[in-house]
Amino acid sequence: MSEIIKYNSNLKKLSRELRNKSTISEVLLWDALKGKKVKGFQFSRQKPIGNYIVDFYCSKLKLVIEIDGNSHDSEAYKNDLVRSDYLISQGLRVLRFSDLDIKKDLSGIVEFLEDWIANN
């Protein structure tokens, strides 16, 4: 049985809004993940965890997948590190992919995820 992940309930409405305003790379990756298409694991998208909303989350794997856009400058990178540190402190694992990599090589990303799942 998976643990309950605590989250800021004020983020629920925003997470719904984000699902309706997905980027192209989020839509592409979601299409590859939804319906247990990757090794039979169920993923959620725009999932509130703590005071954050993560792009994708699989509770059975305790895995967070984040997509980094091209707007990730040094300040955004610092924020990503703080966010990742928090998620890791909650016992979660975090994989990050660039927006461009998902657009250019979605099949390679999916293959990487399948290998990662098989080895973790």
- pLDDT tens string 22-50: 899 999 999 999 999 999 999 999 999 99
| 9 lies in some domain | no
Residue 77: strand, helix, or coil: helix
- pLDDT number for residue 4: 66
Residue 55 pLDDT greater than 50, yes or no? yes
Contact 77, 40 (CB under 8 A): no
Q: Which of the four pLDDT bands, split at 50, 70 and 90, describes residue 1?
A: very low
Contact 49, 5 (CB under 8 A): yes
Q: Which of the four pLDDT bands, split at 50, 70 and 90, describes residue 7?
A: low
| 77 lies in some domain | yes
Count how many domains the chain has.
Answer: 1
- pLDDT number for residue 58: 97
Residue 73 pLDDT greater than 80, yes or no? no
Residue 31, domain extent: 22-111
Q: H or E segment at 32?
A: helix 24-33
Q: Encoding tokens for residue 106?
A: 């979605």
- pLDDT number for residue 17: 76
| 75 lies in some domain | yes
CATH number at residue 75: 3.40.960.10
Burial of 33 (0-12, 13-18, 19+ CB in 10 A): buried
First to last CA, the chain: 18
Task: Kindly report the average pLDDT of the chain as a whole number.
Answer: 88
| 1 lies in some domain | no
Q: Read off the DSSP letter of residue 40.
A: T
| 78 lies in some domain | yes
| 47 lies in some domain | yes
| 35 lies in some domain | yes
